Amino acid sequence: MMEHIIEFAEVVSQWTIPLAMLLIVVWAKIRGVAMYESFLVGAKEGFGVAVMIMPYLVAILVVIKVFLASGLFDDAKYVLAAGLRFAGVESTEVVDSLELLPLAFSKPLSGGASRGLLVEIFDDEQHGPDSRLGLTASLMMGSTETTFYVIAVYFGAVQVRRTRHTLPACLIADFVGLTAAVILGFVLF
C-alpha cells in the first residue's frame, strides 16, 4: 500500500513541471496573452538575479567549507563516543546514535557534506538504509534545509545585509525539525 502511494507521489512529482507548463500556456492562450513576449519580459530578469548572488554565495560557502575541512566534526564524534564509554554507557544504540550528530550539525551548513554523511551511514555494513539509524538519518535529512545557503542566496539577491531575526528563527525551526526527526525515528522504526 505504502509503495503504491510513493510510486504515485514520484509520478506526480515527475509530471508536475510539464503539466504546470501546459496548464499555463493553455490558460494564457484562452486569455489571449501574447505569451512569447511576456515570457521574454520575465526571462530578462533571470540573468541579473543569478549573477548578483555570486559574491554572497562565495562569502558564505568559503567559511562553511573551511570550517568543515578542519575535521572538527569527526573529532567531536570520537570524543563524545569515548566520553560515553568512559561514563559507562555500554548500550550500542546510544553510541551509534552519535553517528547522527555530524549530520545534524552539517545539514544547515552544507548540502554536499550532509549528503556524504548520509551515504556513509547507508553504506556502513552495520547500519544500511533500512536500519533504525539509516531511517532516522533519512528523516533528519528530509526535515531540514541548508539554511545558511538559502539565507545567503535569498538575501544576496536583494542586497539585504542586516537579516535581523531571520537566522535565529530558521535555526530554531531546523532544531525542531531535527528533534522531531529523532523522536519519530524512535517511535516509528
Segment contacting other proteins (CB under 8 A): 59-67, 81-89, 93-101?
59-67
Query: Which of the 8 DSSP states describes residue 109?
Result: T
18, 46, 86, 125: which one binds other proteins (CB under 8 A): 46
19, 61, 89, 126: which one binds other proteins (CB under 8 A): 61
Query: Which of the 8 DSSP states describes residue 127?
Result: S
19, 80, 89, 188: which one binds other proteins (CB under 8 A): 188
19, 22, 72, 79: which one binds other proteins (CB under 8 A): 72
The grid coordinates of residue 170 equal 530558521
Say whether residue 87 binds other proteins (CB under 8 A).
no
10, 19, 93, 126: which one binds other proteins (CB under 8 A): 10
Say whether residue 93 binds other proteins (CB under 8 A).
no
Kindly write out the interface string for residues 137-176 of this chain, putting x where it contacts other proteins by CB under 8 A and - elsewhere.
Answer: -xx-xxxxxxxxxxx-xxx-xxxxxxxxxxxxxxxxxxxx
Cβ contacts of 126 within 8 Å, gap of 6 or more = 96
CA distances for 27 relative to 20, 38, 43, 52, 82, angstroms: 10, 14, 19, 32, 63
To other proteins, the closest distance from the beta carbon of 93 in angstroms equals 18
> How many residues interact with other proteins (rule CB under 8 A)?
114
C-alpha to C-alpha distance for 36 and 2, rounded to whole angstroms = 42
* 187, 103 contact by CB (below 8 A): no
Residues 117-136 touching other proteins, rule: CB under 8 A, are 118-120, 122-123, 128-130, 134-135
Output 83 or 168, the one with its CB closest to other proteins.
168
* 35, 29 contact by CB (below 8 A): yes
To other proteins, the closest distance from the beta carbon of 92 in angstroms equals 19
CA distances for 122 relative to 45, 78, 140, angstroms: 41, 19, 14
Output 65 or 88, the one with its CB closest to other proteins.
65
The grid coordinates of residue 105 equal 550539525
